[in-house]
Amino acid sequence: MKKRTMETSLADHSPKLIRSIERRLFLRQGLSLGALVLLSGCDITDDESVQTVLQGMSRWNDRAQGWLFSQSKLAPEFPESAITKPFPFNAFYSEDEVTLVDGKDYKLELEGMIREKKPWTLPELYALPQTSQITRHICVEGWSAIGKWSGVRFSDFLARVGADTSAKYIGFKCADDYYTSIDMATALHPQTLLTFRFADQILPPKYGFPMKLRIPTKLGFKNPKHIMSMYVTNEYPGGYWEDQGYNWFSGS
Amino acid sequence: MEAGQQNRMDWVKIHPLVVRITHWINAFAILIMVTSGWRIYNASPFFPFRIPSDLTLGGWLAGALQWHFAALWLLVVNGIVYVSYGIVSGHFRRKLLPITPRAIFRDVREALRGKLAHEDLSVYNAAQRAAYLAIIACGIVLVLSGLAIWKPVQLQEITAIFGGYEGARIVHFLAMALLVFIVLTHIVMVILVPRTLPTMFTGRTRRAS
């Protein structure tokens, strides 16, 4: 009955007024819906079922990137004049907290599906055939910088130590407690280098002394520094950032 | 009774079902893409400003990236359905063409003066046609520049179109800005002519007479 009264009273007003009231209501509802969606964005992401979907899509994106990846597709290389100076430092800690590794005692440990697990000293690694590249380092944050790295072609090193290249993953453990892992196809890419030099100098601590795996076909956080050991495995090893939600493949 | 029959005959169909469904999926996908994209931009802004965090989606960079790269599939698959339908069915040709710069200029000017006629919702005026064509163009540029940023090695031919990785980032941002401007204008126009809103659900409107 009450409703009917309201209809009747509304009918008494000019259509123009009703339309302007409707318009205002619509505007207010539209705004509150938008605000709800946006303000609760953080909570939406943390919701368990939403996380399941987003993680599932991230795994799907790993597979899509695996299919898209071609070993013959080379990252563009640049002239010396294009090198970014100074090259930015980036890690999960600040520059004055950089881990210092003692080169004299250093030995690279090999584990998992590798035939010859003898640890490698730095002089032994430096004696291997070296190659250089000037490529663009792209950070997951969006910025990019061009640098020059030199070292051993990773596929040559894996062949030398008898790594089982039919395995799925190679994992890395680093002196700064960082860890990450990559797919075998990327490990065998001709531009994936186990590097010991940056800008023709022995890697300074902030860029990853004694060695950094340089992968110009992946985002920066997939390029581990201060590598202490590596292992070949078929079990998904994850990674420091990957375990927190960053996409695992993260290919360029 | 007679009046009721009369009314039923007055209904005219203006939005095909495919267009209505893809429109709302697209609206949802774009809301996610834009708000998560703002969060990603904030991780390393190249203009002297950041987007207020409250307007962004994802909570932090990893969350925003998850949303962005999940909704991207929704946007792309839905966009392919919409554009293919628009071309094959003749929907684009019928509704968005012909269009001339002179007509766009005239209708935009009239719209700004608040004088643009909206009697017949089945026919788009030139300002609408320009806006809807520009939205489609923005979508294509956003997807291509997005691919250029995502895959500057594997899809380096696309990245080269935008003058390299850094160029593609700028283009991606500017295309987003244009898209957001058009969408906001679109929403303001719907608020000013509210009877257009139900037609995007029902597909029908009363014949103007």
C-beta atoms surrounding A90 within 10 Å? 16
Give yes or no for a contact between B62 and A245, defined as CB atoms under 8 angstroms apart. Answer: yes
Q: What is the largest CA-CA distance in chain B?
A: 68
Give yes or no for a contact between A174 and A224, defined as CB atoms under 8 angstroms apart. Answer: yes
Residue A50 lies in a domain: no
CA A231 to CA B71: how far, in whole Å? 35
For B205, the token pair is 């409107």
Yes or no, beta carbons of B191 and A26 under 8 Å apart: yes
Yes or no, beta carbons of B62 and A46 under 8 Å apart: no
Yes or no, beta carbons of A42 and B59 under 8 Å apart: yes
Confidence at residue A233, expressed as pLDDT on a 0 to 100 scale: 98
Cα dist. B99→B126, B135, B182 in Å? 6, 15, 18
**Long-range pairs, B112-119, Cβ under 8 A, ≥24:** B118/B193, B118/B196, B119/B208
Of A22, A133, A140, nearest to A82 by C-alpha is A133
CA A33 to CA B28: how far, in whole Å? 12
Q: What is the pLDDT along chain A (252 residues), one digit of tens a residue?
A: 344 444 444 445 555 555 565 655 555 555 555 555 555 555 677 788 999 999 999 999 999 999 999 999 999 999 999 999 999 999 999 999 999 999 999 999 999 999 999 999 999 999 999 999 999 999 999 999 999 999 999 999 999 999 999 999 999 999 999 999 999 999 999 999 999 999 999 999 999 999 999 999 999 999 999 999 999 999 999 999 999 999 999 999
Half-sphere exposure of B209 (CA within 13 A, CB side): 9
Alpha-carbon gap: B164 to the closest alpha carbon of chain A (Å): 10
- Give the count of domains, chain B: 1
Separation of CA A234 from chain center: 20
Separation of CA B141 from chain center: 12
Yes or no, beta carbons of B66 and A57 under 8 Å apart: yes
Same-domain pairing of A17 and A108: no
Q: What is the mean pLDDT of residues B25-42?
A: 97
Chain B residues in contact with A138 by the CB 8 A cut-off are: 152, 165
Same-domain pairing of A19 and A94: no
Q: What is the mean pLDDT of residues B62-71?
A: 97
Nearest to A216 among B69, B153, B166 (CB): B153
A92 touches chain B (CB under 8 A): no
Q: Position of tokens 């030099």? A: A197
What is the span of the domain harbouring residue A12? 2-39
A23 touches chain B (CB under 8 A): yes
A20 touches chain B (CB under 8 A): no
Amino acid at the residue A88: P
Q: How confident is the model at residue B112 (pLDDT cuts 50, 70, 90)?
A: confident
Tens digits of residue pLDDT in B162-176 = 999 999 999 999 999
For B60, the token pair is 């932090």
Yes or no, beta carbons of B61 and A57 under 8 Å apart: no
Confidence at residue A3, expressed as pLDDT on a 0 to 100 scale: 43
Cis peptide bond prior to A224, omega within 30° of 0: no
Alpha helix stretches (DSSP H) within chain B:
2-10, 17-43, 61-88, 91-96, 101-112, 126-150, 156-161, 165-192, 196-202
Residue A249 lies in a domain: no
B54 to chain A: nearest residue by CA? Answer: A39
Nearest to B66 among A58, A216, A252 (CB): A58
In sequence order, the 6+-apart residues with CB closer than 8 A to the CB of A243 are none
Is the pLDDT at B187 greater than 90, yes or no? Answer: yes
Residue A54 lies in a domain: no
Give yes or no for a contact between A170 and A231, defined as CB atoms under 8 angstroms apart. Answer: yes
Percentage of chain B with pLDDT > 70? 94
CA B171 to CA B142: how far, in whole Å? 8
Angle, alpha carbons A230-A138-A201 (nearest 5°): 65
- Signed CA dihedral, B57, B58, B60, B66: sign only: negative
Residue A52 belongs to what H/E stretch? helix A48-68
Q: Position of tokens 């904030």? A: B42
Same-domain pairing of A87 and A35: no
What is the span of the domain harbouring residue B74? 2-206
Same-domain pairing of A102 and A14: no
Is the pLDDT at B118 greater than 60, yes or no? Answer: yes
Half-sphere exposure of B129 (CA within 13 A, CB side): 22
Residue A232 lies in a domain: yes
Residue A66 lies in a domain: no
Q: What is the mean pLDDT of residues B138-159?
A: 98
Confidence at residue B19, expressed as pLDDT on a 0 to 100 scale: 96
What CATH number does the domain containing A110 carry?
Answer: 3.90.420.10
Cis peptide bond prior to B98, omega within 30° of 0: yes
Confidence at residue A8, expressed as pLDDT on a 0 to 100 scale: 43
- Give the count of domains, chain A: 2
What CATH number does the domain containing B66 carry?
Answer: 1.20.950.20
Amino acid at the residue B6: Q
Cα dist. A190→A57, A65, A158, B154 in Å? 29, 18, 12, 14
Q: How confident is the model at residue B143 (pLDDT cuts 50, 70, 90)?
A: very high
C-beta atoms surrounding B40 within 10 Å? 23
Confidence at residue A39, expressed as pLDDT on a 0 to 100 scale: 53
Confidence at residue A4, expressed as pLDDT on a 0 to 100 scale: 43
Give yes or no for a contact between A227 and A211, defined as CB atoms under 8 angstroms apart. Answer: yes
Confidence at residue B121, expressed as pLDDT on a 0 to 100 scale: 85
Cis peptide bond prior to A210, omega within 30° of 0: yes
Separation of CA A101 from chain center: 24
CA A142 to CA A165: how far, in whole Å? 32
* Strands A109-112 and A227-233, sheet pairing: parallel
